[in-house]
Structure 1
């Protein structure tokens, strides 16, 4: 009645089954629990001689109790490496601290296999504090070792993948560098009476830029030059760059007038890249005509949406040669390009550049570098000639760091000072 009153909905058969389970558990003695525990137990004397060991550990080792108790020390169960680690680390810690928790060791089974385990030991003392024996618990670490090995394999595989990716990236960089160089003249020709210098600064080794320049003879007295910047990056921009460069060279040989050359390039780009993927560029095209009698060189340029050329005078002045109103090349079918001209005298330099230079971000406020800053900087290097100017600009570009996010092309053309008879003999 008492049971029914406490739980009237619980059938007597269920209670009886539960009682049977508890009865079975009570039948397990402490010794049986010790012998069949899921981990290994052993007790050793202070010299390491095994005094007691459970069936679980014996089963792992493939040994009998008679082969172990009183006949072996704990270190006899270890591999050579495990024994060395026990003697140099585990045992000293145990003597100093009285206990050591979960140290990784390796046991040696009867058939010579290695058994990875985690070992915890504690020194049992008598009532007066004297050490009596060492009780050790051994946990099977095979699954843990397998997991660690799997992690190690995955880590090595990830590292190999990363190394392969870096190698692929380096090969891509080399290919991009070779392709980029193929879009530029290998060397600039020597122009009588003039000094020329150029530089191409790559903002990112992983991106193919679209800046280009060239210098070449038209006949025995005139030279053509151009510098431009294709919209966009990558292979598509490279294709436009190659087309623009060879179109301008061909156009100049047909009609060297700067406006005519840009008009021809515009026609080619507009007809080739119409539709949903228009391609265009900015460009300056010019013609040099040295005058041996005066020592000056006449320059005639036309611009299509490009930053203005900068003229540096020998005495240190710097002024822009503006061509206002010049439209981007390739946008409209019939654009209007504006030309301008000047004379370069001995010591003067003409600088062409792409907007990666003037649009660099500087300072804490990430402000544009700008044309005025460039004019001031270039004026301070006007007397260095084209090579001195380009060298200074290279250092300037390198100093922009991550503020420079676009490629920059530089082309400087200067008239040299005539060499006197006395100077030529020195």
Structure 2
């Protein structure tokens, strides 16, 4: 490839001298990236080092053209120099061009020969630069290669230099995006810290605040679904903490309903933020996806994409139901890292058969991009019931110090001999109240059952029950409204 001639002021790709307004807009773009006078950054240092290797030159730099100076964001082979004056400036000339500026011999160039890098100890004789151009057309600076002896480069070389300048733009955009996210996170953390400080100054208001916030994260009531009975219960381990457990039941239209129950990692305001995002995402995704697994995939993406969520994740059961031919309901659900759903059905005597059911695959939601989920379908026939719960139930400890576990809860429910939603919830709450230490974690319960005989629809729906660790209204907690 033939060498390129030296640049001259009347080259066809030389841009006009910018007006005062254009220069002001360019400087606004420089300020937007907030990069001037920042510490060394590996991404830009690598670009300078790569340029030096590609062109086999002793010096390569990444510069930003300020109003009155050329500032070096990265400098390979140029120790102790962080900036030089803008006039006369090679970089200042390079940003006036749409293509690369190449000066084979600086001593023959009227602008370059008076530059301090040429006249000073470094003795630069060769200079080439590609402008760093943003997506909206502003030229912020240049990627430069310098040598102490004259030389020519090929068109492929100038294309490589332009690619390096484009890499700098990409790095600056990523850095800007990171700064924005960091500022947003700092603002969120500042807000949370201020909220915590206010709570410490007024401890009497903490319990009321937590209770009010908790209610905003739970449905005010459960819907009336013809032929189905619903019951729910919620209790926090401490009245001063906002729990991370959640549940909801809502219509999808055309005799279809959706339900979910889950548990966010952690407690307090940050867990409440994740709970709020989770409930909103599940409700919104359910309107667009018929398959429960797709709804969980949408939630997984939302939790991973929102930087304010940090490393928070959740477990969740999400399902849909609709009337089945011949009675009862067809239920399809998917789980993400959640305990199995208890399916209760009569076994021919006074006890119930209790099966722990969950799909074959169900990873934690919001923990991994490659999380996978699967669904399971069952028939909730007349006389059958489902109990959904968070792990505060199975991790509650008995008098001997052992956890109840899934087997212990299933054995208890089997002995109670009922699948009716209200009694399932009330019996479970009574079980917790009878334990020596109650429950030391938040607990959410949601029960669904199909009566043997149709129950007339009532005009009211059951509101969720909120309780603290010591609950004294177990029977009332399990009272359901017939559907």
TM above 0.5, yes or no, is yes
SS in 1 for 2:276: helix
Task: Give the 5 Å matches for 1:137-148.
Answer: none
Cα distance between partner residues in 1 of 2:285 and 2:259 = 12
Shift of 1:396: 1.4
Listed one character per residue, the Cα deviations across residues 14-36 of structure 1 (whole Å, up to 9, x for unaligned) are: xxxxxxxxxxxxxxxxxxxxxxx
Unpaired runs of 5+ residues, structure 1, are 1-164, 422-426
Task: Give the 5 Å matches for 1:88-167.
Answer: none
Change (3 A) 1:166 1:380: farther
SS in 1 for 2:369: coil
Shift of 1:401: 4.6
- Residue of structure 2 in register with 1:236 after alignment: 270
Cα distance between partner residues in 1 of 2:301 and 2:201 = 42
The answer to whether the aligner puts 1:260 opposite 2:273 as a matched pair is: no
- Residue of structure 2 in register with 1:299 after alignment: 331
- Residue of structure 2 in register with 1:374 after alignment: 409
Aligned length: 254
Cα distance between partner residues in 2 of 1:372 and 1:214 = 26
Shift of 1:415: 1.0
RMSD value, Cα: 2.1
Higher relative contact order by CA 8 Å / sep ≥ 6: 1 or 2? 2
Change (3 A) 1:257 1:420: closer
Change (3 A) 1:401 1:420: closer
- Residue of structure 2 in register with 1:317 after alignment: 353
Task: Give the 5 Å matches for 1:190-209.
Answer: 190-209=224-243
Listed one character per residue, the Cα deviations across residues 165-192 of structure 1 (whole Å, up to 9, x for unaligned) are: 9994332101100111110001100111
Change (3 A) 1:190 1:370: same
The answer to whether the aligner puts 1:406 opposite 2:479 as a matched pair is: no
Listed one character per residue, the Cα deviations across residues 122-180 of structure 1 (whole Å, up to 9, x for unaligned) are: xxxxxxxxxxxxxxxxxxxxxxxxxxxxxxxxxxxxxxxxxxx9994332101100111
Change (3 A) 1:419 1:302: closer
SS in 2 for 1:240: helix
SS in 1 for 2:225: coil
SS in 2 for 1:311: strand
The answer to whether the aligner puts 1:361 opposite 2:397 as a matched pair is: yes
Cα distance between partner residues in 2 of 1:207 and 1:268 = 25
- Contact 1:314–1:346, Cα closer than 8 Å, also in 2: no
Q: State the TM-score, normalizing by the size of structure 1.
A: 0.57
Listed one character per residue, the Cα deviations across residues 28-47 of structure 1 (whole Å, up to 9, x for unaligned) are: xxxxxxxxxxxxxxxxxxxx
Listed one character per residue, the Cα deviations across residues 221-279 of structure 1 (whole Å, up to 9, x for unaligned) are: 1110000000001100000001100100000011131100000000000111489x311
Q: 2:314 aligns with which of 264, 281, 290?
A: 281
Cα distance between partner residues in 2 of 1:205 and 1:420 = 36
- Residue of structure 2 in register with 1:392 after alignment: 427
Q: State the TM-score, normalizing by the size of structure 2.
A: 0.50
Shift of 1:368: 1.0
- Contact 1:210–1:232, Cα closer than 8 Å, also in 2: yes
Cα distance between partner residues in 2 of 1:198 and 1:393 = 11
Unpaired runs of 5+ residues, structure 2, are 1-198, 457-483
Cα distance between partner residues in 1 of 2:432 and 2:455 = 36
Rg: which structure is higher? 1
Cα distance between partner residues in 2 of 1:360 and 1:373 = 10
Cα distance between partner residues in 1 of 2:369 and 2:308 = 10
- Residue of structure 2 in register with 1:270 after alignment: 304
In proportion to residue count, which structure has more helix?
Answer: 1
Shift of 1:420: 9.8
- Greater alpha carbon shift after TM alignment, 198-207 vs 246-255: 198-207
SS in 2 for 1:361: coil
- Contact 1:312–1:382, Cα closer than 8 Å, also in 2: no
